[in-house]
Amino acid sequence: MAKSFYHIGFGADDLSDPRPTLAFLSGDPDRAHMIAATHFSDVVKLSEHRGLNSYVGWLPNGRRAISATSGMGAPSLSIVVNELVQVGVRTIIRIGTCGSIQEHVLPGSVVITKAALCRQGAAEDIAPTEYPASGDPFVTVALAAAAHKLHVTAHVGITASVDTFYEGQERTESANPILLRRMQGITAEYRALNVLNYEMESGTLFKMGNVYGFAAGCVCAVIAQRTASEQVVMDAKDAAVDAAIRVALEAAQDLA
């Protein structure tokens, strides 16, 4: 009997030959669908189980790929990635959104994460704290080269990958305005360490890649400028997300 994984809703036997070894991973299920509908041909819906939408289709270069949803945060991502690797995926490019913590990293641009300052509980179950959360160098270089080719403003550097959107990113405009002492001033500390941005998945993805033996990369659309405001810059969001998608897709052409 063919095995279908409980969370992603499909198994290796649901993937006809040639079986895809590349996956684009988005937190937002609508983004995963849009990538497949807009940029793939001969798209097949694999599953929309539990809101973890996934689709398979053909890239313009003749390579098959999956566009899948990771859900929000590292625990959800860790489940999806584990099951994607079990069905044969060997390269994963995360296409996400993020908030900048540097003045020169502006909304509308993208951040290509070469390594993450990983402050995530899910990652602790995979490898020790001091284990490097680093992206695959070939995927990272391909993303940077794609941004250059497409004339997309891109920043390559270190990301703070944390578990919570509010407290963990030192947001006080929330239901909990009182931060733990260890969170107070942490953004300024990270800024001084040349960390570019906050997001919530890349650290665990990178540790999984290094432990499991697959190639992982991450490109995030900058949709907030935390040196100016905690709010998402809606006027820049769509263009930034489109740029991140185009960079990931172009990089995939070179990786083939």
Catalytic residue among 171, 199, 246, 250: 171
pLDDT in tens, 197-254: 999 999 999 999 999 999 999 999 999 999 888 889 999 999 999 999 999 999 998 8
Domains of the chain by start residue, with CATH: 12-255 (3.40.50.1580)
Give the integer Cα–Cα distance in Å for 161 and 168.
9
Catalytic residue among 83, 170, 201, 250: 83
Contact 122, 77 (CB under 8 A): yes
pLDDT in tens, 49-64: 999 999 999 999 999 9
Catalytic residue among 7, 19, 49, 50: 7
Alpha carbon distance, N-terminus to C-terminus of the chain: 33
Give the integer Cα–Cα distance in Å for 221 and 247.
10
Q: Note if 83 is an active site residue.
A: yes
Q: Note if 151 is an active site residue.
A: no
Q: Which long-range contacts (CB under 8 A, 24 or more apart) does 172-180 make?
A: 173/230
Give the integer Cα–Cα distance in Å for 134 and 158.
9
Q: Note if 31 is an active site residue.
A: no
**Collapsed DSSP state (helix, strand, coil) of residue 58:** strand
Element (DSSP H or E) covering residue 193: none
Q: Note if 226 is an active site residue.
A: yes
What global pTM score does this model have? 0.96
pLDDT in tens, 27-83: 999 999 999 999 999 999 999 999 999 999 999 999 999 999 999 999 999 999 999
Catalytic residue among 64, 94, 155, 226: 226
